[in-house]
Amino acid sequence: MDLHDIHTPVLLDRCVELLGPALQRDGAVLVDATEGMGGHSEALLERFPNTRLIGLDRDTDALRIAGERLARFGDRVTLVHTVYDGIAEAVASAGAPQVDGILFDLGVSSLQLDEAGRGFAYSQDAPLDMRMDQTAGTTAADIVATYGEGDLRRIFERYGEEKLAGRYARAIIAARATAPIERSGQLVEILIAATPVAVQREGRGHPAKRVFQALRIEVNAELAVLENAMPAALGVLNVGARIVVMSYQSLEDRLVKRVFADAAASTAPPRLPVELPEHAPRFRLITKGAELASDEERARNPRATPVRLRAAERVREAS
């Protein structure tokens, strides 16, 4: 298997450019909080030969593949099986109290989408699993089988921003009374049947798209994990260190935007005539708003289409 053929890292050159100034120093430490198959990490280790990597992932298959890909870098690489809200503990256990760069490439990975048996893709029939860490946790089939109509509607509305959430929840409850819903193909059929023909003609995307996103987020507690991970990540950055976050849906991006804005804001009381040093912002925003992939990159790598990239740099220690 040629990893370069199956995995094209999103916004790779831009990530290298943004993290570069912080990784120039001798002994720099980079955390790839979403290691995946190691594409971003490989490029950064090649470009910055004095940098050490701590790579995190909850997916054991991804860590195995990344380990093979990065083996040539030897002891410059430490891979840790953990969810990224455990970043502070992982960094400490690797013997690096603070780090110089952090990269988050959020959402479902190419490996998880392309491996049909994982159940992430509504275009492929597979067991309804959707766990990023297949060693533990609740599956999407468990949720579909046990959640009540109200809870299904809630996650479809909140995590999928699905306008037909109530209709789809009722359809699932009715269908599972007849037979267990254990495969992605079954769920897709139920959702298509529950979608009015007029809505299907509107061109708002596949009827299953938002429901599958919502189930995946619920299975993996993605937003709760991200909400804990962002302040933890900011807390382990050295002065002069940089963090880059790539989001693929609006809920993630709004959360990242809020955390970055708070970190880059002064804490001085209103109407204070002079800002005291202890009230100065701890971070500065490097990107102006969220950066998008270019038309060329979207054509070359369709998975870059929804990406929203934000970056910040630590400019002072916490008070």
Annotated binding site for S-adenosyl-L-methionine: 38-40, 57, 84, 105, 112
For 119, the token pair is 């159940």
Residues marked as binding? Answer: 38-40, 57, 84, 105, 112
Q: Which amino acid is at 17?
A: E
Q: What CA–CA distance (Å, rounded) separates 303 from 293?
A: 10
Residue for token pair 């993605």: 222
Q: 3-class DSSP state for residue 77? A: strand
Neighbours of 244 (CB within 10 A): 25
Write the DSSP symbol of residue 203.
T
Strand 29-32's sheet: what is its strand order? 77-81, 52-57, 29-32, 99-105, 237-247, 308-314, 283-285
> Angle 146-124-39 (CA atoms, 0-180°, nearest 5)?
105
Question: What are the CA-CA distances from residue 206 to residues 63, 187, 209, 212 (Å)?
Answer: 31, 13, 5, 10
